[in-house]
Amino acid sequence: MDETETSFGLLATTRYVPRLRLERIDMLAQHRWMAPGLKSLARGRRAVANWDEDSVTMAVEVGRLLQQALPASAAVELTLVSTTLPFAERLNAGIVASALGIDSGATLRDATSSARAALTELSATLRRPEDGAPRMLLAAERRVARPASAQEMIFGDGAAGALVGTGDAIATWVASASTHADLVDHFRQTGEEHEYAWEERWVRDEGYMKIAVATIRQCLKDGGVAAADVARFAMPAPMARINDAVAKKVGIAATALVSAEHENVGDLGSAQPLAMLDIALRAARPGELVLVAAFGSGCDALLLRRTAVPCPGPVPDAGRPETSYMKYLSFTQQIELAWGMRAEMDNKTALTAAWRDHALASRFEGGRCSACGTVQFPRSRLCVNPQCRAQDTQEPTSLADVPARVMSHTTDFLGYTPDPPFQFGHIDFEGGGRVLMEFTDTDVGELSVGLPLRMVYRVKEFDRKRGFRRYFWKATPTRAESAGATTEIK
């Protein structure tokens, strides 16, 4: 396919992994006394979300990456997939859409309850071209596993996404198949924090080797494709070497298996199928067939053909090693630490005020004076430029995607934050605008005057009395990510 040719299909895929990577050997060190069997899982690192990250904020990061590949028209549909949505009764996709600036007329939905839900949604979207308008699919997960469990070692936090529509497609649909089967390999009852997993050998033999194999075969049959013709095969499987066994039984070459990046990230739950699809497509050559499957309450299989269009956007970097298991327990609220009186505050949110300042908080919307061009945050009736002082000339302008630099910074070891020290300071935006901001994902000693920054959407604070959380934008150092990294093939 010529790179300038347009067609309906997959326009972009991407993934986001939090900066912190907890060393599994340090997790084992805390559990070896009672669970020495975890040693077999204690290789590499797993991604850990910062205290101010959840499935909503990570989905926003993925959505922002996908928006770099959006055509001129905005997405008309956004689906957020997660089994760890922060709100049971509030449209979580609505929070994401607001942060991304998606039009209020777009169709939004939350999807949950299954590890394969994202692939189900992607397959369904690819099968209905309709008007060809871009549709965004985001999946994010921050699962909390019981301490000393195998899941604690296996899980990872992160997000992935896909953009479907008409344009310069990186892959086109060939076939798909879906099977429903209420085989319970693991479950988590409503209101419970930790999941319960069933015996692995039974899940492998009755689930993957029968249900997944049959679904994959049906997909290949529908596409008129031989298993040996599949160049890249991606199938999330928390059990060791189960994807090898499935591939062998189906007839897919061992060289086609795509790495799940387990040793540096971990299993991303409902986001894992899209994350592995992103890895596979970046490694695939033009014309190659890519097969991705996802198991959970049945199985979905999706067969795509790679085009000659390059995959847009960067891939996650290696992150920063984290050795403190206690920090992880604190971030996931599995241990209550004595933070002192400074942490004793009532963070009740006035929902009426939150709605009035909706644009300010969700899109980091300030104002630009139409008379003199001065940018200010927050927007007001009066221009702050003393040489102008014009009234009612402020035009809305978002600072969320505007590069900035550190003007001043303070490192406070007395003020409360779930990840001490509290770092904040004034930042200057390119093109104008100066704001006092909180910094996140920042090491002590890393900040300096002039340091390049970008804005990230994060949890501002929790109202634990009422079960609410507020979101706002924070500043973080701009770190180079590899835009052309190669994919490891297992």
According to DSSP, residue 316 is labeled -
Region 411-433: mean pLDDT is 95
Residue 235 pLDDT exceeds 90: yes
Region 326-339: mean pLDDT is 94
Residue 397: pLDDT band by 50, 70, 90 thresholds?
very high
Question: Which of 13, 6, 11, 1 has the alpha carbon at shortest distance from 307?
Answer: 1
SS (HEC) of 344-398: CCCCCCCHHHHHHCHHHHHCCEEEEECCCCCEECCCCCECCCCCCCCECCEEEEE
Strands 158-167 and 7-16: antiparallel
- Sequence ranges of the chain with CATH classification 2.40.50: 341-364+399-477
- Sequence ranges of the chain with CATH classification 3.40.47.10: 7-331
Residue 5: pLDDT band by 50, 70, 90 thresholds?
low
pLDDT at 487: 38
Span 272-312, pLDDT tens digits: 999 999 999 999 999 999 999 999 999 999 999 999 999 99
pLDDT at 52: 98
- Matching CATH number, 341-364+399-477, of 3.30.70, 2.40.50, 2.60.120, 1.10.10: 2.40.50
Question: Which of 244, 234, 308 has the alpha carbon at shortest distance from 273?
Answer: 234
Alpha-carbon distance of 300 to 297, in angstroms, equals 10
Span 382-393, pLDDT tens digits: 999 999 999 999
The percent of residues above 90 in pLDDT, for the chain, comes to 81
Residue 379: pLDDT band by 50, 70, 90 thresholds?
very high
pLDDT at 70: 79
Residue 483: pLDDT band by 50, 70, 90 thresholds?
very low
32-36, 199-203, 240-244: which is most confident: 32-36
pLDDT at 346: 84
pLDDT at 431: 94
3 state SS of 307: coil
Span 105-150, pLDDT tens digits: 999 999 999 999 999 999 999 998 877 889 999 999 999 999 999 9
Residue 72: pLDDT band by 50, 70, 90 thresholds?
low
pLDDT at 3: 44
Residue 171: pLDDT band by 50, 70, 90 thresholds?
very high
State in Å, rounded, how far the first CA of the chain is from the last one: 27
Average pLDDT, the chain: 92
Say which amino acid occupies 7. S
Span 238-272, pLDDT tens digits: 887 899 999 999 999 999 999 988 999 999 999 99
Residue 482 pLDDT exceeds 50: no
pLDDT at 408: 97
Span 432-465, pLDDT tens digits: 999 999 999 999 999 999 999 999 999 999 998 8
Positive or negative, the CA dihedral 271, 261, 243, 488 is positive
Q: Are the C-beta atoms of residues 35 and 294 closer than 8 Å to each other?
A: no
* 214 against 351, higher pLDDT: 214
pLDDT at 129: 83
pLDDT at 182: 93
The CATH number of domain 7-331 is 3.90.199.10: no
Residue 480 pLDDT exceeds 70: no
Region 62-81: mean pLDDT is 86
Residue 15 pLDDT exceeds 70: yes
Alpha-carbon distance of 48 to 34, in angstroms, equals 23
Q: Are the C-beta atoms of residues 169 and 196 closer than 8 Å to each other?
A: no
pLDDT at 73: 53
Q: What are the distances in angstroms from CA 127 to CA 73, 108, 177, 246, 477?
A: 21, 19, 11, 26, 40
Residue 490: pLDDT band by 50, 70, 90 thresholds?
very low
Residue 71: pLDDT band by 50, 70, 90 thresholds?
low
